[in-house]
Amino acid sequence: MVTVGKVSMRHRLLRAYRNAFDHPAKLRIYDWLRQMPIFRFPTARFEYGTFRLDILEFVQNNMFLSGSWEPSTFRLFRDLVPVGGNVVDVGAHVGQFTIAAAAKVGPGGMVIGIEPNPSTCAILLSNVEQSQQTKVVRVVSTPLSTGAEIISFGTPPVWSTGLTRPRKDTTEAGFFVRAITPSDLLQYFGMNNVDVMKIDIEAHDLDVISSLFETSTIRPHHILFEYIPDHFSYHISQEEISNYFAHHGYKLFLVNGDPYLPTIRAIEDNLWACRTL
């Protein structure tokens, strides 16, 4: 079950106002209030960790108001993570999935949280520290790719810092980061098995999965990944994706447990690949 985090009294009042009955000016007033310094950065204490949120940002505002971003995916993710397990969170953002996984695996497990955006990675690290999970979580600012290459990222908008994407025009604001393969990352941390891998990296999810399948013998028990064929172009077609995963020993599901069909829009734009071999 997803529950909202404990916040200060003024932030409880702000959240109650946003979730109350609608009136014509409510959203404008809420947007004005959340820009004020006394409201913008609440500290939210969830049962699995503590976060300093920036509620001007889309994902963090959802965490503040309703307890999580992508609640159905989040519930499934937490159910799949075993005590003492190994978890890899690719595109960790401010750490909702990373820290929840750390709380579940406990001191006998390991969680790798990967966030290449320098400013967002600093927030991730701070939230890991506030949640007292530094012994379980390995924060990594190196992105995953099909090879050791330098990737040029654009600077995402302040309202959605999760939209960190490779840029084509290097004259725009951005930064450069050297990538590594999933195989090299797992080898570095001595991770011989992965229980759950969650990937949300703006249309490059399948590239990372393909690189893992091609360069490593490790097959995560569960892979949760973003898949939006109506919005992004992928190297695996919508008609072939189920066969592709079946070839590598997986069956595809929606995050509610229903089998995936190409005619169905994925719930929260995420799919669940469950290993069958």
The predicted-structure confidence for 37-78, as pLDDT tens digits, reads as follows: 999 999 999 999 999 999 999 999 999 999 999 999 999 999
Q: Are 160 and 57 in contact (CB under 8 A)?
A: yes
Nearest Cα to Cα of residue 63 among 101, 87, 97, 33? 97
| Average model confidence (pLDDT) across the chain | 94
Give residue 3's pLDDT.
Answer: 85
Domains in the chain, start-ordered, CATH in brackets?
Answer: 9-275 (3.40.50.150)
Model confidence at 215, in pLDDT bands (50, 70, 90)?
A: confident
* pLDDT computed for residue 250 by the predictor: 98
pLDDT at 230: 87
Query: Which of 28, 148, 136, 125 minimizes the C-alpha distance to 81?
Result: 136
Rounded CA-CA distance 276/266 in Å is 21
C-alpha–C-alpha distance, residues 38 and 237, integer Å: 48
Q: 259: which DSSP letter? A: B
Please tell me the pTM assigned to this model. 0.94
**Per-residue pLDDT at 126 exceeds 80:** yes
Amino acid 227: pLDDT? 94
The strand pairing partners of 223, in sequence order, are: 197, 273
Q: What is the pLDDT of residue 22?
A: 86
